[in-house]
């Protein structure tokens, strides 16, 4: 069965640089969620999209922005990167607003 | 604010030694309670969704149950390959995104 695809899987950036993370949801899933997981921590909700419109925001810094495109893939744009942004970033998708979320393999971001 | 507390933080079992993991939650209007398994550096893998008190679901050596205040993940005769972090998450009605609020997880180690 098709799963959530995330790219890149690993990313190394310098402080103050920008990064773009991509997420391709499971086919026919119209809702995408972004989560951040720091070392030894549980996933924290950042932002979500439903039918290409922002649905809700969590603890997402103002330096981050995201969007969902017409093919339902989503991109998380991160600017002015800080050391504390180093984490695993997960994308999850679900077939509707309420329901099981299926997670991708994550992008490991390291900011030096 | 939705809250999820998991116990114990870590659990070491001998192969074949059955046990239970606990997830206590506080949420205004539970939409769903989810169990995930997470291996180091990987995305959470979906296990179960429970929607109402009294509901039970089983999969191989795992069985999840739900009451109005907590959920249990019972592991029967575990094997070393069951070693992982088990995450509990709740989905409430607050907002429109239905994002998940995670507990801190139980790190399970099954010794051969």
Query: Concatenated DSSP letters for B38-83?
Result: E-TTSPPEEEEEE-STT-EEEETTEEEEE-SSEEEEEE-S--GGG-
Say if B86 is an interface residue toward chain A (CB within 8 Å).
no
Query: Which of B7, B32, B43, B101 to mutate to test binding with chain A, by most A CBs within 10 Å of its CB?
Result: B43
**pLDDT value at residue B97:** 53
Do A100 and B32 make contact, defined as CB atoms within 8 angstroms? yes
Q: What is the β-pairing status of strands B10-14 and B106-111?
A: parallel
Kindly report whether the peptide bond that precedes residue B62 is cis, defined as omega within 30 degrees of 0: no
Is there a contact between B15 and B112 (Cβ–Cβ < 8 Å)? yes
Closest C-alpha to A19, from A87, A99, A79: A79
Count of Cβ atoms closer than 10 Å to residue B79 Cβ: 13
B91 → chain A, closest CA residue: A98
Taking only the tens place, the pLDDT of each residue in A15-56 is: 999 999 999 999 989 899 999 999 989 999 999 998 889 888
Say if B67 is an interface residue toward chain A (CB within 8 Å).
no
Taking only the tens place, the pLDDT of each residue in B5-58 is: 999 999 999 999 999 999 999 988 888 999 999 999 999 999 999 999 999 999
């Amino acid at each position: 069965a098709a799963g959530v695809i995330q790219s890149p899987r690993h990313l190394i950036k310098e402080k103050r640089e920008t990064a773009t993370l991509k997420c391709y949801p499971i086919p026919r899933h119209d809702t995408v969620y972004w989560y951040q997981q720091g070392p030894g921590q549980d996933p924290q909700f950042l932002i979500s999209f439903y039918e290409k419109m922002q649905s809700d925001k969590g603890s997402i810094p103002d330096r981050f922005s995201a969007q969902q495109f017409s093919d339902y893939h989503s991109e998380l744009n991160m600017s002015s990167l800080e050391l504390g942004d180093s984490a695993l970033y997960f994308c999850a998708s679900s077939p509707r607003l309420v329901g099981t979320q299926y997670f991708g393999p994550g992008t490991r971001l390291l900011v030096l | 604010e939705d809250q999820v507390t998991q116990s114990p933080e870590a659990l070491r079992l001998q192969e074949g030694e059955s046990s239970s993991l606990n997830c206590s939650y506080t949420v205004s209007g539970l939409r769903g309670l989810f169990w995930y398994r997470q291996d180091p550096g990987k995305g959470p893998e979906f296990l179960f969704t429970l929607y109402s008190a009294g509901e039970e679901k089983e999969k191989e050596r795992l069985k999840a149950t739900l009451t109005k205040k907590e959920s249990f993940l019972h592991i029967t005769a575990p094997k070393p390959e069951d070693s992982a972090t088990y995450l509990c998450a709740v989905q409430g009605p607050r907002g429109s995104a239905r994002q998940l609020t995670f507990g801190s997880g139980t790190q399970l180690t099954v010794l051969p």
